[in-house]
Amino acid sequence: MPAPIRLRELIRTIRTARTQAEEREMIQKECAAIRSSFREEDNTYRCRNVAKLLYMHMLGYPAHFGQLECLKLIASQKFTDKRIGYLGAMLLLDERQDVHLLMTNCIKNDLNHSTQYVQGLALCTLGCMGSSEMCRDLAGEVEKLLKTSNSYLRKKAALCAVHVIRKVPELMEMFLPATKNLLSEKNHGVLHTSVVLLTEMCERSPDMLAHFRKNEKLVPQLVRILKNLIMSGYSPEHDVSGISDPFLQVRILRLLRILGKSDDDSSEAMNDILAQVATNTETSKNVGNAILYETVLTIMDIKSESGLRVLAINILGRFLLNNDKNIRYVALTSLLKTVQTDHNAVQRHRSTIVDCLKDLDVSIKRRAMELSFALVNGNNIRGMMKELLYFLDSCDPEFKADCASGVFLAAEKYAPSKRWHIDTIMRVLTTAGSYVRDDSVPNLIQLITNSVEMHAYTVQRLYKALLDDISQQPLVQVASWCIGEYGDLLVSGQCEEEEPIQVTEDEVLDVLEGLLVSNLSTPVTRGYSLTAIMKLSTRFSSVNRIKKVVSIYGSSIDVELQQRAVEYNALFKKYDHMRPALLERMPIMEKSASNGPTEIVQTNGETEPSVVEPKHLPPVTQPVNQANDLLDLLGGNDVVPVIQTTMPTKPASAGGELLDLLGDLSLSAIPPMTAYNKNGLKIDFTFERANPNPNIAVITIHASNSTEADMTDFVFQAAVPKTFQLQLLSPSSNVVPALNQGTVTQVIRVLNPQKQQLRMRIKLTYTLKGSPVQDLAEVNNFPPQSWQ
Amino acid sequence: MMRFLLLFSRQGKLRLQKWFTPMSEREKKKIIRDMTTMVLARQPRSCNFLHWKDLKIIYKRYASLYFCLAIENQENELIALEVIHRYVELLDKYFGNVCELDIIFNFEKAYFILDEFLMGGEIQETSKQMVNRSIEASDMLQETMEEYMSKPAF
């Protein structure tokens, strides 16, 4: 058989292939030749063949049939064979392969070879890809080599030990004795790898960490070495752009970080050297900045004195002004990490950070955006928001969703005024409307509902926005909802904040109907606009037109629209008496837990309005005329009946409190009380605070009956003074069982924005032994905690 | 620690692959594909750092070769750039004005040099001269034992 072609020859040949197919053909031919050569057990050319196989493996072709050959090469006595064999092993024989363990014996022998370069090969292979079993078997050899005086082997053994510890952490103890005088070495290779080994041990085991801090006095040793590196003159062997062994410096700084973390003594011992490195390091090249970066990270992590921390943040501030993009990126990343702990110091660099929003580099822009959001506070909200909105306008689509969410969150937390808040939201919806998250729509609707005095302004702005553009679905959904709710304000031109526009009912209905038929509207949006049109039937006078539209959609192909239209039709026909009550203004909505940009709530924006509507129904099942009875209860004006809710007359402060997401979460226990106890019927109130809004008191009534007969058709009604708002949920049942055998419970929610003393009039009706009973009572004995 | 080092050309052809953690062939291939796509798509004057899964990717272009190094999240990116540069200097010293063809035709030597510089995802030797001396001595060992004249062993 002719001698197999040389490696370089093969490479040359394969590179002449003009197509993938041609290359594949050549490779297949050569693989076949190599296979037969392997079968002949030819020692002379095995090395050459495996080398060729490794080349073809790099091109992406399978080479598993060479695995055993690598083993044979490793076992050979020739250095060339071993070299290629070990290389092949590292590329083809990782721990997932069955034959991996067969290497163990060879490696063991080579670890004890007379030639250090052979020992080096074995250590390298073991340290790169040794499996746990192999590590267990050979740890002893590695430990022996760690104590040798040969620095070439010592440094390799140290890294090999690191790998062993990573694979088999229990073996860490074994290497402890050998670390004793590792740091007294002069050889930088050994020093570096020793620091890596010590770092690995300290990171993995708190006991080791404590041991090295106290017993070994590691910190002073490291400080000494670092000092020598900085102070020593030019050393050609380790110099990089005028800095002596930057790799070692960085590694030492990192180990110091671990040693100094949460430890006062260690941190104090390193304060000086850190200050020295921070001030003396040359910053004209990347190397110097790499060391400064590591120093800053260390200063921020240990218990450094405040002067040092300020120095660190200033270094980062200088980084931000550096021409080198990498440095700016690294600065932004580090500032993001420190912004929580050193907020004020980072604030000083706010303008530079905001400038980075305009950087051309995508990675830098993203970091700058995250950092900008972290820096927004009550003082800088207006200025920051201007910049961020400008950024939102011009940034890439990949940023828009996160930016929009961030803007909403920041606006909710720090909005200086309602109008500003609504303007900001409008701006986001009009510029990045298609990118806002699904949960933004219900959140915004809630916000708008609760900003009572801004309703006219909001609906006017939204209407104008709709006239311009109906393609951005979240904007369209919010706008149609608002028009449905506040269309009467729109038509009557009540806006105070800006010039009111003249718009007729027909124009409004035109716009809403336009949404229904437009191709741009999603089914969800169509749902919104149909409901909005329906709501306008109680606010506008052109009811006939609305009836027509609704009946058309009764035969829509879209099932959701069809269902709505049919139900609304029923409202016009059979339940017309209920229509005004059902379509009344929405009450103030209780704020559910806020979602940050990181939580993507998969709510269909639709659920909010439809969820609130059914809640209206239970009180309405008591026929509507009872509402009129309640109006008589407190003799006139200061009563707000259960079903209908008007907006409280106090604007700003009430709104501000309602928007307070970060409300007091503490649930102090409020003692229960007995509200009524007469003729065998006892009604107890128990309290809980609605989380997170502290102005809403949630009262659960428990009605119990101590008479011998059941009380059937039991209805509980309540009324509160005008400054309060009340919502009554459905009762658990309307039969109160006799002889205290059970209770009927019902939940009342009272909104008390002015924190006035809670008073309530209750009306009870039930049937006992066939005769109806009715009673009125006043409840004044509410515990102070329930309304304070 | 470093997780992997890849060298590839501007057409996306792989020239060297060093993996510091065990991975299946399929995973390796996927990573190579992802890296080449991501890095080759970058604008010319962008910063040299990327995020990929939970790793930081440091890449730098030298002539027609891209050097792509993946490090764990707590590592220092700026010093990683220096690591790449140091490796290029070592190759340059060994081959004398190294170019892509040198690495193509002598890939095994590139690996040997790398294995004297890095090991197990960490730096092994910080002195350029030490690395060069070790490589030269190993090469000498090869030649003497094989008793080949000035031709490469294979």
pLDDT in tens, A36-89: 999 998 788 899 999 999 999 999 999 989 999 999 999 998 899 999 999 999
Please tell me if residue A283 touches chain B, with a CB cutoff of 8 Å: no
Tell me the nearest-neighbour CA distance from B66 into chain A, angstroms. 16
A94 contacts B22? CB cut-off 8 A: yes
Q: What is the distance in angstroms between the Cα of A263 and the nearest Cα belonging to chain B? A: 20
User: What is the tens place of the pLDDT at every residue in A543-564?
Assistant: 888 888 888 888 888 898 899 9
- Would the CB atoms of B112 and A54 count as touching at under 8 Å? no
In contact, A400 and A432? CB cutoff 8 Å: yes
The tens digit of pLDDT for each residue in A497-517 reads: 778 788 888 888 888 888 888
How far is A616 from chain B, CA to nearest CA, in Å?
A: 48
Inter-residue contact A578 to A571 (CB < 8 Å): yes
Spatial separation of the C-alpha atoms in residues A153 and A117, rounded to whole Å: 9
Which of A124, A162, A188 comes nearest B122 by C-beta? A162
**What pTM did the predictor assign?**
0.71
- The answer to whether A80 contacts B154, with C-beta atoms less than 8 Å apart, is yes
pLDDT tier at A521, thresholds 50, 70, 90: confident
Nearest to A238 among B123, B126, B152 (CB): B126
CB A296 within 8 A of CB A334: yes
Residues 228-247 (A) with a CB less than 8 A from some CB of B: 237-238, 240, 245-247
Interface test with B, best of A58, A133, A319 (most B CBs within 10 A): A58
Which of A582-596, A683-697, B43-57 bottoms out in mean pLDDT, i.e. has the lowest? A582-596
The alpha carbon of residue A108 is apart from the nearest alpha carbon of chain B, in Å, by 18
Rounded to the nearest 10 degrees, the angle between the axes of helix A132-146 and helix A116-129 is: 140
> Considering CB atoms only, which of A48, A328, A362 is closest to B154?
A48
For A:178-217, CB contacts with B below 8 A are: 188-189, 192-193, 196
Residue of B nearest to A83 (CA): B112
- Compute φ and ψ for A689, nearest 5 degrees: -85, 135
State the pLDDT at residue B85: 96
Is the model more confident about A627 or about A728?
A728
Contact of A466 with chain B, judged by CB distance below 8 Å, is answered with no
Q: In this structure, are residues A219 and A227 in contact, taking their beta carbons and an 8 Å threshold?
A: no
Contacts of A83 (CB under 8 A, 6+ apart): A121, B108, B112, B138, B142
Report yes or no: B124 and A193 within 8 Å, Cβ to Cβ.
yes
Kindly determine whether residue B141 and residue A330, on different chains, have CB atoms separated by under 8 Å.
no
Contact yes or no for A80 and B153 at CB 8 A:
yes
Average pLDDT over residues A109-115: 94
Query: Does A420 touch chain B if contact means CB atoms closer than 8 Å?
Result: no
pLDDT of residue A689: 66
Please say whether the beta carbons of A452 and A586 come within 8 A. no
3-state secondary structure of A123: helix
Average pLDDT across chain B, whole number: 91
Chain B residues in contact with A290 by the CB 8 A cut-off are 76, 78-79, 81-82
Report the residue from A94, A95, A326 with minimal CB separation from B49: A326
Which residues touch A649 (CB under 8 Å, ≥6 apart)? none
Q: Tell me whether A134 touches chain B (CB under 8 Å).
A: no
Q: What is the pLDDT of residues A601-611, one digit of tens each?
A: 333 333 333 33
Q: Is A58–B15 a contact, with Cβ atoms under 8 angstroms apart?
A: yes
Q: Is A513 exposed, middle or buried (0-12, 13-18, 19+ CB in 10 A)?
A: middle
Q: Report chain A residues whose CB lies below 8 A from the CB of B146.
A: 78-80
Please tell me the distance in Å from A355's CA to the nearest CA on chain B.
Answer: 17
Span B109-121, mean pLDDT? 96
Cα separation, A630 vs A613, whole angstroms: 22
CB contact under 8 A, B76 and A193: no
Classify A142 as helix, strand or coil: helix
Residue in B17, B49, B124 nearest the CB of A189: B124
Q: Which of A144-148, A590-594, A664-668 has the lowest mean pLDDT?
A: A664-668
Please answer whether residues A675 and A697 qualify as being in contact, where contact means their C-beta atoms are separated by less than 8 angstroms: no
Within 8 A of B90 by CB-CB distance, chain A residues are none
Chains A, B: CB contacts under 8 A, how many? 170
Q: Identity (one letter) of the amino acid at A100?
A: H
Task: Name chain B contacts of A94, Cβ cutoff 8 Å.
Answer: 19, 22-23
Q: DSSP for A583-627?
A: TSPPPPPPPPPP--TT------TTHHHHHHHHHHHHHHHS-THHH
pLDDT of residue B152: 54
Name every chain A residue with its beta carbon within 8 A of the beta carbon of B122.
159, 162, 193, 196
pLDDT given for residue A25 in this prediction: 94
Question: Residues of B with CB below 8 A from A8's CB?
Answer: 105, 152
3-state secondary structure A306-345: HHHHHHHHHHHHHHHCCCCHHHHHHHHHHHHHHCCCCHHH
Contact assignment for B48 to A326 by CB distance below 8 Å: yes
Structure tokens at A143: 């430990």
**Gap between the terminal Cα atoms of chain B:** 34
Contacts of A289 in chain B (CB under 8 A): 78
Question: How far from each other are the two terminal CA atoms of chain A, in whole angstroms?
Answer: 100
Distance from CA of B120 to the nearest CA of A (A): 4
Token pair listed for B123: 């730096």
**Burial class of A578 by CB neighbour count within 10 A (0 to 12, 13 to 18, 19+):** middle
pLDDT of residue A643: 36
Question: CA of A81: which chain B residue's CA is closest?
Answer: B142
Query: At A289, which amino acid appears?
Result: N
Compare CB distances from A326 to B78, B104, B128 and report the shortest one's residue. B78
Q: Give the C-alpha separation, A765 to A775, whole Å.
A: 7
Cβ distance B119 to A124 less than 8 Å, yes or no, reads yes
Q: A175-232, pLDDT tens digit by residue?
A: 999 998 888 888 999 999 999 999 999 999 999 999 998 887 889 999 999 999 998 8
Is B122 in contact with A159 (Cβ distance < 8 A)? Answer: yes
pLDDT of A276 strictly over 80: yes
Give the residue from A282, A348, A279, A288 showing the smallest Cα distance to A320: A348
A26 touches chain B (CB under 8 A): no
Q: What are the Cα distances from residue A134, in Å, to A108, A119, A131, A173?
A: 10, 16, 5, 18
Whether B78 and A129 lie within 8 Å, measured CB to CB: no
Distance, in Å, from the CA atom of A662 to the CA atom of A342, rounded to the nearest integer, reads: 22
Please name the residues in contact with A432: beta carbons below 8 A apart, sequence gap of 6 or more: A392, A393, A400, A403, A404
The residue ranking higher by pLDDT, A653 or A38, is: A38
Computed over every residue of chain A, the mean pLDDT equals 83
Chain B positions touching A362 (Cβ under 8 A) are: 46
| Model confidence pLDDT, tens digit, residues A439-464 | 778 888 888 888 888 888 888 888 88
Contact A250 B49 (CB under 8 A): no
Contact B79 A95 (CB under 8 A): no
Question: Are A79 and B152 inside 8 Å of each other by CB?
Answer: no
What does the pLDDT read at residue A608?
Answer: 36
Token pair, residue A281, equals: 């390091």
Instruction: Report A:718-757 residues touching B (Cβ under 8 A).
Output: none
Task: Look at A84 and B107 and tell me if their CB atoms are within 8 Å.
Answer: no
Between CA A758 and CA A739 the distance in angstroms is 31
Residue A398 dihedral angles phi and psi, to the nearest 5°? -65, -20
Whether A398 and chain B come into contact, CB under 8 Å, resolves to no
Strand residues in A202-297 grouped as ranges (E) = 239-240, 243-244
- What pLDDT is stored for residue B59 in this prediction? 97
Two tokens at A423? 């303007």
Question: Residue A135 above 80 pLDDT?
Answer: yes
